[in-house]
Chain A
Amino acid sequence: MKRPILLIMILPALALIFSLLVWPLALLFVSSVQSTGNAIGAAPGRAGLSLSNYVEILTDPWYFGALVNSLWLSFSVAALSILLCLGPAWLLVRGDFPGKSWIRALFTLPMSFSGVIVGFLVVIMLGRIGFIPQFMESLTGRAFLSGSAYQFTGLLVAYIYFEVPRALLTLESSLKKFDFQLETAARSLGAGRWQRFFWVVLPNLWPALLSTFSLTFCVSLGSFGVALIISKRFALMPVEIFQQFTGFLNTGLASAMCIVLVAIAFTVNYGLRMLSGRREVPSA
């Protein structure tokens, strides 16, 4: 009796996943293994299948560089946002102080901004005449950090800015499940501060860190609006995809780039979850 109801309940989600994820991915894949020029969803050309688009991504220094940049930026952003958020998340779970919900709301605000807005914010703060360089100039006479919005620094700041809420919420919900009595027990058994951290807290926290990492990494990997606004020469995969689509109508190469990103995101997500020893979906 329960089964059919359950089936009916998951049907809309299944239909959605099929029509918005599986089917488009299949179309992308088909388009990616053809030589250039075919519109997505068009019938396969007579030229037959070809891996030339994938070969181009891996051998062309610019595209390969964009891929490496994307991975490096996403890795740095994920690692740094965990470092930044661990303390606040701990405080939100354990601490009890006035205005706690306000602080949480403040931290999670950036999630509601689109990438384009974050890009403009970074330009206002770190642009050529940004607030920080102007302030530095009034203090020291030199406009330090002027124009850094358009460099790697700007991208890093912007990405961390919108990953902080995700990292914070994920860490907080995982920390809530953390059994703090374990730490108390370790202390009463005579373990020192660092001993407790490395041998009790960290191993128990590990899954939370990994799931937070995989979430922030994957979101950064696909994020696009900020880079579109501010990067001058720092190439990132999502921007290259957009460029191939709109600038050159090169759907084959763009599709192949999409598939590569999806494959990496999936591998990281799945791999980290295996590593953390549980198959739950990271809560976000």
Chain B
Amino acid sequence: MKASRTMFVLLGLTLAASTSFAEPKVVIQYDCIPNYANWGGVTAAYEKKTGVRVPPDMKGSSAAMAALDAEKRNPLADVAYYSGAIGFQAAEKGLHQPYKPAAWDKIPATLKDPEGRWFAVHTAAVAFIVNRAALKGKPVPRTWDDLLKPEYKGMIAYDDPTWGGTSYTLVYGRNILMGGTNTDFGPGLAYFRKLDSNIVHYPRESVYNDVLRGEIPIWINADGNGLKMKYVDKGDIEVVIPEDGSVSMPLVMGMVAGAPHAKETKKYLDWLFTDEAQALFAEAFFMPVIASALPPDLASKFPSNKEYEVVRDLSLADMSAAANSLKQAWLDQVKNRK
């Protein structure tokens, strides 16, 4: 008897609490992982400023797209964040509604959909992340051709591109840089076949710690990961943007079609392109899409503008169209060598 009364009181309290706490405004973002690209810091700053909460969400790009697709008739999310090609695909599937954030004109044309169905919030660039101590006196490689030198045998790794977006971008991008197209993979694959003899293995799990430890002296990956090793984990790391060209990896967002909190979402997206929010992304070493927003003290930690000059933007449309055939061709001709 007494227990049930306690239950009633508790139930009443919970109801009261849920109604009073449901009052504050929210924006639901799929793929909002707090320790990735400083989303934790960004959303905390936004809540402090406006009182609008953007709760964390641990779905990755592909899962975010799959969830939006499943909820198409009854959308629960307002915005989603993705690695470039997947965000593009989500827009193509009609999962987004067009919206152009206030700073629209400052976003480079190659990093947004003309209609506003997707737009990049920050970018990364393909780089060689080099553990200098582990090279044991060998020179730090500066170009893609350097990587082919026999002295680096068994010292290089790049992630299996069939598992991760970053590595897919790198394989796709290298092929474009070498004169290939989104249907002709010949030049790029010929390069990766040669590189194969210097490869330790093709990781399918994060080898971040292996690189810091020196097990893998050279990792071809996003520059931001290397900068984090250098400045946060204080490793003897050099981040090299290959002198003979590299490609950017945009990370994009889109406003969900039928977003339940549309008005708040638009304000939130506008804010993400302010200098304040853009600088917060830069703290996690993701390059702000609005270049002027990069604070000088952080800018000195990134590779210089001159080094970044060789970085090309890729067409997300071509990149997502080539995904399955390039992954299969890489497996057949590089990894599995049929």
Contacts and interface: CB of A to CB of B under 8 A. Distances in A.
Interface of A: 61-62, 116, 123, 127-130, 146-147, 150, 228-233, 235, 243, 246-248
Contact of B162 (A147, A150, A235, A247): A247
A164 B38 CA distance: 44
B57 interface: no
For the complex of A and B, the 6 pairs showing the least CB-CB separation, nearest first, are A247-B162, A232-B201, A150-B201, A127-B215, A62-B336, A147-B154
A233 B336 contact: yes
Contacts of A230: 201
Interface stretch (B42-50, B184-192, B202-210): B202-210
Given A123-B215, A129-B134, A232-B199, A61 B338 contact: yes
A123 B163 contact: no
B204 A229 contact: yes
29 contacts: A62-B332, A116-B205, A127-B210, A128-B154, A128-B155, A128-B200, A128-B216, A129-B134, A129-B213, A129-B214, A146-B154, A147-B200, A150-B200, A228-B204, A229-B204, A230-B201, A232-B199, A232-B201, A232-B202, A233-B336, A233-B337, A235-B336, A243-B162, A243-B331, A246-B162, A246-B163, A247-B162, A247-B327, A248-B162
Q: For chain B, what secondary structure do more than half of its interface residues adopt (helix, strand, loop), or is it mixed? A: loop
B215 A229 contact: no
Q: In the complex, which of the residues B324, B328, B335, B336 has the most CB atoms of chain A within 10 Å of its own CB atom?
A: B336
Given A127-B215, A129-B213, A230-B201, 18 more contacts: A61-B338, A62-B332, A62-B338, A127-B210, A128-B155, A129-B215, A146-B154, A147-B154, A228-B204, A229-B203, A232-B202, A233-B336, A233-B337, A235-B336, A243-B162, A243-B331, A246-B163, A248-B328
B132 to A, nearest CB: 14
B267 to A, nearest CB: 36
B200 A232 contact: yes
Nearest to A230: B201
Contacts of B327: 247-248
B335 A233 contact: yes
A106 B332 CA distance: 43
Contacts of B210: 123, 127
B313 to A, nearest CB: 25
Interface of B: 134, 154-155, 162-163, 199-205, 210, 213-216, 324, 327-328, 331-332, 335-338
Contacts of A146: 154
Contacts of B155: 128
Contacts of A229: 203-205
A80 B338 CA distance: 31
A225 B245 CA distance: 36
Nearest to A154: B201
A167 B332 CA distance: 37
A231 B201 contact: yes
B215 A128 contact: yes
Contacts of B331: 243
Contacts of A123: 210, 215
A228 B205 contact: yes
B170 to A, nearest CB: 16
A146 B215 CA distance: 11
Contacts of B335: 233
Contacts of B214: 129
Contacts of B332: 62
A158 to B, nearest CB: 14
A59 B324 CA distance: 22
B163 A247 contact: yes
Contacts of A116: 205
Contacts of B163: 246-247
Contacts of A232: 199-202
A235 B155 CA distance: 21
A264 to B, nearest CB: 22
Contacts of B328: 248
Nearest to A149: B201
A188 B63 CA distance: 71
Contacts of B338: 61-62
A262 B335 CA distance: 27
Contacts of A248: 162, 324, 327-328
B141 to A, nearest CB: 17
Contacts of B203: 229
Nearest to B155: A128
A243 B330 CA distance: 13
A231 B336 CA distance: 12
Nearest to B205: A229
Contacts of B204: 228-229
B108 to A, nearest CB: 31
